[in-house]
Amino acid sequence: MDKISILQKYIPAPAAPLIVKWIDYYKAELKISRNRSTKLGDYRHPYGGKGHRISVNYNLNQYSFLITLVHEFAHLLNYNRHKNKVKPHGTEWKKAFQEMMHPFFEMNIFPVDVESALKAYMQNPAASSCSDMNLLRVLKNYDKKQEVLLAVEKLPFNAVFSLPNGRKFQKLELIRKRYRCVELSTKRMYLFNPLAEVVELNNH
């Protein structure tokens, strides 16, 4: 799979070709990282024979991912221009961030509410987009709704539930210490540990 197709899983599709151009032009390594509670993304400047390295948390929605990615590319551009002689989120970085975000506004890829909040934030961008409560609130509207996991023992009898892989079951009776459940697609019976975590489905 080519770089554009991979990126289109994480950011709005029209934005991917320009990001790939930057990756190639700056010889940057982009890593899609596991979720980190302390930061959304990270930039490391070249050292020890390694080039520019950027990482972004995999679980951000497409607009948060793109904004974070451009934020980190602005650090790269700032490093190329000034090395370590300026503050990480000083005036020079803000200018680089505004420059690099500009083409994405021209592509009209952001929903109206995100574009409005983002334009306000970009007037004077901060070290983290999380510090702008208005932008954060708007971006959160585009997060995938988290599925709530429940232990099988907490489900009512006859409830329908699914496993993370999508297989669907109906909870039947308790047999000794396990619950007998029927897989809906195959009608096969399975015994579930009471503490197995599953997603309750309302529509069945």
Could you report the average pLDDT of every consecutive run of 10 residues in the chain (204 residues)?
91 97 97 87 95 95 97 97 94 97 97 96 86 89 79 94 90 95 96 92 63
- Do 44 and 52 form a contact (C-beta atoms < 8 A)? yes
Structure-block tokens of residue 180: 């007998």
Identify the pLDDT of residue 146.
64
For the four alpha carbons of 182, 188, 191 and 192, in that order, the dihedral sign comes to negative
What's residue 147's pLDDT? 67
Greatest CA separation for the chain? 69
For residue 204, the model assigns a pLDDT of 44
Closest CA to 185 of 172, 198, 166, 199: 166
| pTM > 0.85 | no
